[in-house]
Structure 1
């Protein structure tokens, strides 16, 4: 199993309505082999936290690669997450 964890910091003037659209778009992808996906905005429990996260599980490396190369996923990156974010960090963990 591959777990992909993405977290982002928004630019100060970022449109959070657009962020919510992007997060909903991730949930709607329906990539074969994506076994679970959770998205959300920071709950604000500690100062300095990042603003949003995406946590997605994949059956295997091939399923992760399909997600990473998916046209709609890359549109969301290019048109929503990239322009809204000051920083994005990601990691893939194999279990």
Structure 2
């Protein structure tokens, strides 16, 4: 199984609530090979945290790569997250 973890920082002045539609759009995607997807905004329990996180589990590397190249996924990234985010970090690992 491949776990994809994404964390993001919003641009200065962007409210946490503004990213909710983008997070829900990610959860609504149901690509082949997706096992589970979870999203959330930071609870501000520690200083200097990132603003939101996404975790997605895929049955294989091939399933992840297909999702990463999916046109709708890329539209969500560009149109919904792009205008809000200052920085995004990603990591994929075998779980």
TM-score interval, normalised by the smaller of the two chains: over 0.9
Residue of structure 2 in register with 1:9 after alignment? 9
Residue of structure 1 in register with 2:22 after alignment? 22
Mapped contact 1:2–1:94 kept (Cα < 8 A)? yes
Structure 2: 5+ residue runs without aligned partners? none
CA distance in 1, matches of 2:18, 2:67: 21
CA distance in 2, matches of 1:23, 1:45: 20
Cα RMSD (Å): 1.2
Aligned length: 95
Structure 1: 5+ residue runs without aligned partners? none
Residue of structure 2 in register with 1:74 after alignment? 74
Look up the SS of the partner of 1:83 in the other structure. coil
CA distance in 1, matches of 2:83, 2:10: 9
- CA distance 1:30–1:7, shift in 2 (3 Å): same
Structure 1 runs (4+) deviating above 4 angstroms are: none
Look up the SS of the partner of 1:43 in the other structure. coil
